[in-house]
Structure 1
Amino acid sequence: MRNFLVLPILLSLTLLLSCSKSGTNTSSAQIKDITPKKAHNLLIVESESCIYCKQLDRDIKSDQNLQKALVGVDVNKLLYESNAKVRYRFGKEEGISQEHEVARMLGVNSFPYLFFYDQEGKIILSIPGYIEPKTFACVLDYVKENEYTKKKLQDYLKEKGCV
């Protein structure tokens, strides 16, 4: 009878110890990094209940023209309701904070919210709300071709027939 009780206790202890070890190993790797790594970076701030965020995600995964336009762009996402840690750099502002705090720092007040930023973390363009794939692809070209240094976005979109 004693042997019968010892085995379940040993199994339980082994399970508890293995769970606690894996928990400590993953916590150090849980910091999401949205610092700029390429010349062109995109941050999409989403909300859990946002249907337009889900549509934008589907567009990115399925629209071939949009996928081509995203080549060379580092795409990152933040969830407005998340407490997860994130490493960021926007201009001189840098550090580690929670996702919702970074979104608030950026002034997010609608979803999705798109931020295009350069390698130094300077925000080039911010767009609140959903964008149709054709227009989104044109906006990506506008940023990648550095047209933002020459003309306004609306003028560029009209010239290219994107609106």
Structure 2
Amino acid sequence: MGKTKLLIAFIAFGTLVSFQKTTESPEKEINWMTLEEAIKLQEKAPKKIIMDVYTNWCGPCKMLDKNTFHNEDVVNYVNEHYYAVKFNAEGNDTVTYKDKTYTNPNYDPAKANRRNSAHEFARSLKVRAYPTMVFFDEEGEYIAPISGYLKPRQLELYLKLFKTDKYKEMDTQEKFNEYYKNFEPTFKE
């Protein structure tokens, strides 16, 4: 009987601590928006854009969202230095970019949470895997796609590479390898 009371007390205490933690310090989130909103904001306050290209069925996309895009260091850095865009690469949104409108003419609503047709805009960005983070400069010009699930410190390398314009010096694989080797991450995992 004593072990049962101890177990109940332990569970109750854990629940209380968990409740206090969520009510005292609500988790900050990345300020997600559409590409059109980000480009409009660039007119008044230029920042680079990071676009999370995901699909509803993609497990690594969900891990990226949960583990990396909710990391406090990632949230703070992205919100300060980037406009953040979420884009469903197999969704049905209409996207206007550089005076061209992109749709997903083969989208099937019955497959909304399964593999669907790739969006024209995802194809134009050369997205071949999910998740992919696409970076744009302060004028909304395409920089590069970075594919795969990245942990906070792995993403930090790219966030800082593009933010500081160091990528402009990376005209060879050796130069990127040197940057990678010398990079000292500061984000917590």
TM over 0.5: yes
Contact 1:35 1:88 in 2 (8 A): no
CA RMSD in angstroms, aligned pairs only: 2.2
- AA in 1 matched with 2:56: E
Unaligned runs of 5+ in 1: 1-30
Supply the distance in 2 between the matched residues of 1:125 and 1:65 (Cα, whole angstroms).
22
Matching of residue 79 in structure 1 with residue 98 in structure 2: no
Instruction: Go from structure 1 to structure 2 and tell me whether the alpha carbon gap of 1:34 and 1:113 turns closer, same or farther (over 3 Å shift).
Output: farther
- Out of 116, 137, 145, which is 1:126 matched to? 145
Q: Matched residue of 1:62: which SS?
A: coil
Contact 2:68 2:151 in 1 (8 A): no
Supply the distance in 1 between the matched residues of 2:129 and 2:37 (Cα, whole angstroms).
20
Unaligned runs of 5+ in 2: 1-33, 105-118
**Cα distance, 1:153 vs structure 2:** 3.8
Instruction: Go from structure 1 to structure 2 and tell me whether the alpha carbon gap of 1:136 and 1:32 turns closer, same or farther (over 3 Å shift).
Output: closer
**Cα distance, 1:42 vs structure 2:** 0.9
Give the strand-richer structure, 1 or 2. 1
- AA in 2 matched with 1:104: R
- AA in 2 matched with 1:77: K
Post-superposition CA distance 1:36-70 (Å, at most 9, x none): 32331111111111111111111344212212321
Matching of residue 157 in structure 1 with residue 165 in structure 2: no
**Cα distance, 1:159 vs structure 2:** 0.6
Instruction: Go from structure 1 to structure 2 and tell me whether the alpha carbon gap of 1:66 and 1:153 turns closer, same or farther (over 3 Å shift).
Output: farther
Residue correspondence of structure 1 range 77-156 to structure 2 within 5 A: 77-89=86-98, 94-98=99-103, 100-151=119-170, 152-156=175-179
Instruction: Go from structure 1 to structure 2 and tell me whether the alpha carbon gap of 1:55 and 1:137 turns closer, same or farther (over 3 Å shift).
Output: same
Supply the distance in 2 between the matched residues of 1:61 and 1:107 (Cα, whole angstroms).
22
- Out of 50, 71, 80, which is 1:42 matched to? 50
Supply the distance in 1 between the matched residues of 2:51 and 2:102 (Cα, whole angstroms).
16
Query: Could you tell which deviates more after superposition, 32-41 or 62-71?
Result: 32-41
Give the 4+ runs in structure 1 shifted more than 4 A. none
Matching of residue 62 in structure 1 with residue 70 in structure 2: yes
Contact 2:129 2:148 in 1 (8 A): yes
Supply the distance in 2 between the matched residues of 1:133 and 1:44 (Cα, whole angstroms).
14
Instruction: Go from structure 1 to structure 2 and tell me whether the alpha carbon gap of 1:68 and 1:35 turns closer, same or farther (over 3 Å shift).
Output: closer
**Cα distance, 1:126 vs structure 2:** 1.5
Aligned to 1:11: none
Q: Matched residue of 2:60: which SS?
A: helix
- AA in 2 matched with 1:49: W
Larger Rg over CA atoms: 1
